[in-house]
C-alpha cells in the first residue's frame, strides 16, 4: 500500500513561499443520498500518524483508529457540507466548491495555500490552490482530510438510518445497491435523496418527489 509523504507539502512551500497549508478532500460525491462532505485540515508536526493513508485503502478498524490520531495530530480541522437539496438545485460542481469553502472558512486559522485531490481547482477565488490528481495517496495532509471526512460522513449516515429506516443507510452510506433501489421504489425517496439524479428515472411512481434539474448519478454500488 502506498503511504503518503510530505513531498507535496515541501514542494508547495518551496515554490509558493506558503507557511500554513491545508489539505482538502471530499466524500459522498457519488452517493444517491446524504450530504457531500468536505474536510479541511491544517497540518501538524512531523511525523504524521503511522499508517496514515487514503481512506479508501484502509479497513474500518484502521480508519477509526486513525481518526483519533489524526484529530490529535492536526493543528485544526473543519467540515463543510452540501445537502441533497443544494446538490439538486445547484449541481455537483458548484456544491463541491461550496462545501470546500465552508470547510476552509470554518478552520481555526486561515491557510496560506490549499492542497486538493484531483486535477481541477474546485475551491476558487480567493484561495491559493494546488490541485493534484492522486493527492489523497501522496500527501499526508490530503490523506488526513480523507480519513476525517470518511469517518464523519459515515457517522452522519448511521444517524440518518435511524431517522429513515428501511433503506440500509448505515450499511450503504447512501450509495446505490440493489437493496437500496428496491427500498426507494417501495418507500419512495427521503428528503436526503438526490432526487434530480437519473436513478429516479427508474421509479416513475415517485416522479412528484423530484426536485432540481436531472443529473446523472455517478456510481452504483
pLDDT at site 215: 53
pLDDT at site 214: 52
pLDDT at site 219: 43
Distances (CA, A) of 109 to 76, 90, 123, 188: 8, 29, 17, 43
pLDDT at site 2: 79
What residue numbers does the annotated binding site for a divalent metal cation cover? 25-26, 117
Tell how far CA 178 is from the center of its chain. Answer: 23
pLDDT at site 192: 98
Does domain 7-160 correspond to CATH entry 3.40.228.10? no
Residues contacting residue 102 through CB under 8 Å, at least 6 positions apart: 38, 79, 80, 81
Hey, where are the domains in the chain? 7-160, 165-209
Residue 5: count other Cβ atoms within 10 Å of its Cβ.
13
Cis peptide bond N-terminal to 88, omega within 30:
no
Ordered alpha helix ranges (H), 164-201: 169-172, 178-187
Per-residue confidence of the chain (221 residues) as pLDDT tens digits? 779 999 999 999 999 999 999 999 999 999 999 999 999 999 888 899 999 999 999 999 999 999 999 999 999 999 999 999 999 999 999 999 999 999 999 999 999 999 999 999 999 999 999 999 999 999 999 999 999 999 999 999 999 999 999 999 999 999 999 999 999 999 999 999 999 999 999 999 999 999 865 555 444 43
What residue numbers does the annotated binding site cover? 25-26, 117
Quick check: pTM over 0.85? yes
Amino acid at each position: 500500500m502506498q503511504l503518503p509523504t510530505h513531498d507535496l507539502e515541501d514542494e508547495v512551500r518551496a515554490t509558493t513561499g506558503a507557511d500554513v497549508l491545508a489539505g482538502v478532500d471530499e466524500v459522498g460525491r457519488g452517493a444517491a443520498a446524504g450530504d457531500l462532505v468536505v474536510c479541511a485540515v491544517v497540518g501538524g508536526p512531523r511525523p504524521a500518524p503511522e499508517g496514515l493513508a487514503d481512506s479508501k485503502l484502509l479497513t474500518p478498524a484502521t480508519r477509526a483508529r486513525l481518526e483519533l490520531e489524526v484529530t490529535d495530530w492536526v493543528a485544526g480541522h473543519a467540515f463543510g457540507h452540501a445537502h441533497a437539496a443544494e446538490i439538486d438545485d445547484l449541481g455537483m460542481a458548484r456544491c463541491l466548491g461550496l462545501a470546500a469553502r465552508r470547510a476552509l472558512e470554518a478552520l481555526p486559522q486561515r491557510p496560506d495555500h490549499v492542497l486538493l485531490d484531483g486535477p481541477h481547482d474546485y475551491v476558487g477565488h480567493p484561495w491559493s490552490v494546488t490541485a493534484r490528481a492522486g493527492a489523497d495517496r501522496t500527501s499526508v495532509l490530503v490523506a488526513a482530510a480523507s480519513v476525517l471526512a470518511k469517518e464523519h460522513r459515515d457517522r452522519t449516515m448511521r444517524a440518518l438510518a435511524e431517522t429513515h429506516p428501511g433503506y440500509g443507510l448505515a450499511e450503504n452510506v447512501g450509495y446505490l445497491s440493489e437493496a437500496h433501489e428496491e427500498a426507494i421504489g417501495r418507500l419512495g425517496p427521503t428528503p436526503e435523496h438526490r432526487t434530480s439524479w437519473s436513478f429516479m428515472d427508474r421509479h416513475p411512481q415517485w416522479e412528484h418527489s423530484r426536485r432540481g434539474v436531472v443529473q446523472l448519478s455517478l456510481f452504483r454500488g
